[in-house]
Structure 1
Amino acid sequence: MPQLFKSLFKTKSIASPIVTFSSGFENATDIHNLNSYKDSLYLYIGVSMIAKRVSGIPLELYKIKNKKGDVAEVFEHPLLSLLAKPNALQTPREFMELSATHYILAGEVFWLLDRNGASINAMSILRPDYVQVVLSQDRKTVVGYEYTNGTIYRFKPEDIIHISNIDPSNPLRGVGVVQPATSRILTEIEATKYQASFFKNQGRPDFAVFADQDVSEEGAADFRARWKRIFGRNQGGNVAIFGSQVKSVQELNKTPKEMDFIATQKFLRQDILSALHIPEEMVASEGSNRATSKEAYKMYLQEAVIPVLEALVDGMNAKLVPQVDQAVFIHFDDPTPVDRDLLLKETTELKKNGIITANEARSMYNYDAMEGADTLSAVPAQPAQTDPALQDQAKNYIRKRPILALKLQAIEDVVAALQATEPKRQMNSIFPNQKAKDAYAKAVNDNIDRKAEKVKDTLDDFHAGMLKRILATDLDVHSFMDVQTEKKAAKDLFTPIMVKLYKEGGQSALDALFKKASADHFFVDQVLLTAIEGRVNFFTNSIIDTTFEVLKSKIVDGIKEGHSIEKIGQSLRDYFDDMSVKRARTIAQTETNFVLSKATNDAYAQSSVVTGKEWLTVGDDKVRPEHEDNNGAIVSKGEAFPNGEHYPAEASVNCRCVLLPTV
């Protein structure tokens, strides 16, 4: 067993209670089922087809926004990270393929969760034939699981995700496709063995040669050798000429019984594939054409692939997802090919009724957009709504997750209570007076200062490393700095720092909206993440480019003045020391304020409570005139303030203004 699996088992063991165990019969059955996969050709083909297709279908994560079932796709989340790297030994595709294989063959899947406190770091797949369910003394409660592989390991119920294809005779375990098809599979295995023996070991000769008199062993061997030399391989069309001793040559045909036995293989293939719900046309080419193949592929997806993936996803949503986040669920799009004729008809109707534009219709068929084709031909389109199927799915999960239902209800109650205070206004400040606003602004700026100081320390460390690398060269004006390498190093260093600040800032902004009710989750999708990464790329490139030009100028001036390498090097040290005192602090303050201010703005956009935002200055003589014009202005969440900025520091250096929420 790999060392990783051993360590997981050891850290997850539980004290042995007084229990009774599920019967070992299921384990023996699972062993047979798993081994049959390697013995039966058609079982291997069928299961591989399903498992590989299941593992290739992308999984999506959606956040439930309200009790109506409105959802938003999430592109960054601990669950997505877990699915993207389930453990150190398997890729996501290998993990899902093995899970699907276990589910089909044994009828059940066991995932072991590796935890670090409340978070789940990894998932490992356990062989179902090594697992036993541990019951309480009265056999009414599952109190754990045992994994036996030379050594017995015990796990708590919450550390095992057990997904099964229900077995009516034993609700604790699952039943796979192999068990009901056992007789067919065994027959196929035995038939294959018989055929191999029959044809390879020559159960009877293909030809009989009759002679007028006895032929010696030497003569027979010589005859076989000459026959093989003349008629072997691809020379079967040559004319056979025999000596006077040969009386006749007779081919020994297969008997009808033998031919029936061989034909049985076809029926065995049909039975095994039927058990897997795979149309025979997906495996055998005889009698199939394009139309039947297309329909067979559709049936294969709908009857064989989708049910397996549905079982795995349903198990995740029921047993894994709630342990990480109650407000999300996993979903996948139906992989069944779309009927293009039907799609064309629907697209035409949508365009005709003004629901989509011509360019939107063209994009559905991967055609390039046309100029002037972005207007609606009839009534204006309504705002995008949640897909009804996703909405129903979200409502179903709300019903199954009482904690989530209470949270969503609490948020709606808060919104209703806040709106009831001043029903004529839609955007009201949550602060009762200017004093409260000023106190909040001071707290925000104090937090920015603390975080900016850490960013400055990191920037100083980076500059110290840069100086060391430069001084290690001969200070040649053309090669004293590898600009691209420095840019990549800066980007690699600061991107995770600023992304972390962004995530923390967004969540803090949401947390500040609530007192008794739980806060929303701040979700960072790929669009938001790309914006932060782009900002980091911009400011790190600016730092390197500016630094390069200044240092280049100092080296050139030093050479012109005839200064020594040591003196030029000292001038570079002085520049970096001065930059640490002045420029580095401004950069750190500006970038930290930008990231946290943008995080607050994006968090308000996601919030189900916030309806708008208010700009607040610190009120001193350092405030920019254009920001004084913004002071106290309230706009909708997606709008810009009077000076054109959507949030403080969006386009300002060293800005100290603060964004406030309105409801």
Structure 2
Amino acid sequence: MAFERFRVWAAQAFLGKQFPLFPQTGETLLQGFFPSTGVVRRGRIELLNAYRALPWLRASTNKIGEEIASTNWKLFVRTVNGRPVRDRALQRMDYDKAFKSIHEGLQDGTLREIEGPHPFLELLDRGSDRLDGWASDHATQVHLDTIGESFWWLQRNNAGLPGGYIVLASHWVKELPKENFPFYEISFGAIHELIPAEDIIWWKHADPANPYGRGTGVGESLGDELDLDESAVKFLKAFFKNDATPPLLIGLKGASETEMNRAMKKWEQRHKGIMKKFRAHFFRGELDVKTLAPVIKDMMMTELRTAARDTTHQVYGIPPEILGIIANSNRATITAAESIFARHVILPRLEFRRRGYQRNLVPLWDDRLIVWYDSPIPDDLEKMLAAAKAMPSALEYNEWRQMQGLDAKPELEGLHPVPGKLTPQVIINEEEEEEEEPEEEEP
């Protein structure tokens, strides 16, 4: 206690700033520089609620969440002389290098996939009793893409290992762990608990302004665009529902109430109805007309909503074709959109998850395991076809059938198409030929 007070006093004297005496609150000196680490920001609940109300925010985050939740996860292990070892380099490699290393390891037999069910994979598939693995994964990704953080409350079995997990929304977590208080304080509904820090996985996109505090998401940067789109929709809804604002205010100078009513009835008789549209009206005397209701066309509502929509999916990096916006698209852009979406939107998020699993979950069972997933990047069929056309005979008949989406035929196994101008040659192994030569008989 005395040493901690001395550290605070020394920091105050050196920096010329005042900090609270942290031992009373359980905080560390570092957390004193960022006093808002446990405070939930305003607007986060509203942003999560916007997922239900704003169509383009939901379309973008839902599409990403569906792709992430549908990913097939795998486990591998490196072997040396048949014995499992820990390959730290492969566990930390970026996607491209890891993809190549795993492919080479499977080819030369130094890497093998864990066959059969594994508790880690079952955990991802199970989720919780009320929200299965797919739905939990989807909710986690929506949290990350809107407010930048999500929490997993690990449910441990009798062996002390995770058997499931509960997804916690950010605003349910009221306090984060401190040096002398290693607990998360959560509160939602009738539940109010202190959860040990080792039972919580905190998924977070760090805020550059406060990297040790709460996370920040892409959705927070779209506040004005989302408000603009929502306001435009509400205005149009009020316009069609009649908000008690007449389009015109007409005044007859010096007219009595009776004359006003007579003029109004006469006006409606001459102009009300579809067959009386565009009729001219002649009047005598001074007339004053004020326009009250705005003209929707002049307000450019369509352009405003289109701009807000485009900004939303562009900030998430989603090609418009993925969301069904194909007004300015063609076959080439539609095909390329899938690769762009997978490479630049889904892949970085899967890498974020992989590193989190590798660091926080897998070591609970075996730190030698390597987490991997099926690549979301589709095959470049045009590139494959162009390469195959350069030398068609390099591929087997069944490989050609596979590229066409057809099943392989056993009778074509190992056979290659041979161009008409070429003659098939039998490759003879010289060593085998020498062994098969009969010995000459002695005279």
TM-score by length of 2: 0.65
Q: Counterparts of 1:38 and 1:168 in 2: how far apart (Å)? A: 28
Aligned with 1:36 (options 34, 41, 50): 50
Deviates more, 1:122-131 or 1:67-76: 67-76
- Per-residue Cα deviation, 1:376-400 (whole angstroms, up to 9, x for no partner): 66999xxxxxxxxxxxxxxxxxxxx
Amino acid at match of 1:161: I
- Paired residue secondary structure (2:139): helix
Match of 2:413 in 1: 374
Select the structure of larger CA radius of gyration: 1
Q: Counterparts of 2:331 and 2:247 in 1: how far apart (Å)? A: 39
Aligned with 1:201 (options 228, 242, 245): 242
Tell whether the 8 Å contact from 1:177 to 1:276 is kept in structure 2 after alignment: yes
Tell whether the 8 Å contact from 2:270 to 2:276 is kept in structure 1 after alignment: no
Match of 1:158 in 2: 198
Q: Counterparts of 1:133 and 1:379 in 2: how far apart (Å)? A: 72
1:55-454 equivalence runs, <5 A: 55-66=69-80, 70-116=111-157, 117-131=159-173, 132-137=175-180, 143-149=182-188, 152-172=192-212, 173-201=214-242, 215=261, 219=265, 227=273, 231=274, 239-240=275-276, 255=295, 258-283=298-323, 284-346=325-387, 352=393, 357-375=396-414
Tell whether the 8 Å contact from 1:358 to 1:373 is kept in structure 2 after alignment: yes
Cα drift, residue 262 of structure 1: 4.3
Deviates more, 1:272-281 or 1:42-51: 272-281
- Per-residue Cα deviation, 1:135-183 (whole angstroms, up to 9, x for no partner): 115xxxx823221236531122221111212222233332101222222
Q: Counterparts of 1:210 and 1:281 in 2: how far apart (Å)? A: 53
Cα drift, residue 99 of structure 1: 1.0
Cα drift, residue 88 of structure 1: 1.0
Q: Counterparts of 1:243 and 1:366 in 2: how far apart (Å)? A: 66
Q: Counterparts of 2:62 and 2:343 in 1: how far apart (Å)? A: 16
Match of 1:650 in 2: none
Q: Give the structure with the larger helix fraction.
A: 1
- Paired residue secondary structure (1:114): strand
- Paired residue secondary structure (2:122): helix
Structure 2: segments with no counterpart, 5+ residues: 1-23, 86-104, 253-258, 284-288, 417-424, 428-443
- Per-residue Cα deviation, 1:549-605 (whole angstroms, up to 9, x for no partner): xxxxxxxxxxxxxxxxxxxxxxxxxxxxxxxxxxxxxxxxxxxxxxxxxxxxxxxxx
1:447-526 equivalence runs, <5 A: none
Cα drift, residue 56 of structure 1: 2.0
Match of 2:256 in 1: none
Amino acid at match of 1:175: T
Amino acid at match of 2:156: R
Q: Counterparts of 1:108 and 1:202 in 2: how far apart (Å)? A: 40
With over 3 angstroms needed to count, the CA separation of the structure-2 counterparts of 1:218 and 1:311, relative to structure 1, is same
Pair 1:54-2:65 in alignment: no
Structure 1: segments with no counterpart, 5+ residues: 1-16, 232-238, 381-663
1:598-613 equivalence runs, <5 A: none
Q: Counterparts of 2:269 and 2:70 in 1: how far apart (Å)? A: 58
Q: Counterparts of 1:220 and 1:162 in 2: how far apart (Å)? A: 72
- Per-residue Cα deviation, 1:431-466 (whole angstroms, up to 9, x for no partner): xxxxxxxxxxxxxxxxxxxxxxxxxxxxxxxxxxxx
- Paired residue secondary structure (2:354): helix
Tell whether the 8 Å contact from 2:271 to 2:279 is kept in structure 1 after alignment: no
Q: Counterparts of 1:153 and 1:350 in 2: how far apart (Å)? A: 67
Tell whether the 8 Å contact from 1:144 to 1:156 is kept in structure 2 after alignment: yes
- Paired residue secondary structure (2:221): coil
Cα drift, residue 319 of structure 1: 0.8
Cα drift, residue 100 of structure 1: 0.7
Tell whether the 8 Å contact from 2:38 to 2:176 is kept in structure 1 after alignment: no
Cα drift, residue 276 of structure 1: 1.4
Q: Counterparts of 1:224 and 1:307 in 2: how far apart (Å)? A: 67
Tell whether the 8 Å contact from 1:63 to 1:74 is kept in structure 2 after alignment: no
Cα drift, residue 269 of structure 1: 1.6
Amino acid at match of 2:49: N
- Paired residue secondary structure (1:65): strand
Q: Counterparts of 1:171 and 1:245 in 2: how far apart (Å)? A: 69
With over 3 angstroms needed to count, the CA separation of the structure-2 counterparts of 1:133 and 1:368, relative to structure 1, is same
With over 3 angstroms needed to count, the CA separation of the structure-2 counterparts of 1:19 and 1:351, relative to structure 1, is farther
Cα drift, residue 277 of structure 1: 1.3
Overall identity of the aligned pairs, in %: 23
Q: Counterparts of 2:216 and 2:363 in 1: how far apart (Å)? A: 26
Amino acid at match of 2:136: F
Cα drift, residue 299 of structure 1: 2.2
TM-score by length of 1: 0.45
Amino acid at match of 1:290: R
- Paired residue secondary structure (2:187): strand
Of structures 1 and 2, the one scoring higher in RCO (CA 8 A, sep 6+) is 2
- Paired residue secondary structure (1:175): coil
- Per-residue Cα deviation, 1:109-141 (whole angstroms, up to 9, x for no partner): 21111112233211110111221311115xxxx
Q: How many residues align?
A: 345
Cα drift, residue 37 of structure 1: 2.4
Cα drift, residue 346 of structure 1: 4.7
CA-based RMSD: 4.0
- Per-residue Cα deviation, 1:57-100 (whole angstroms, up to 9, x for no partner): 32233333345762325332112222221211112221111111
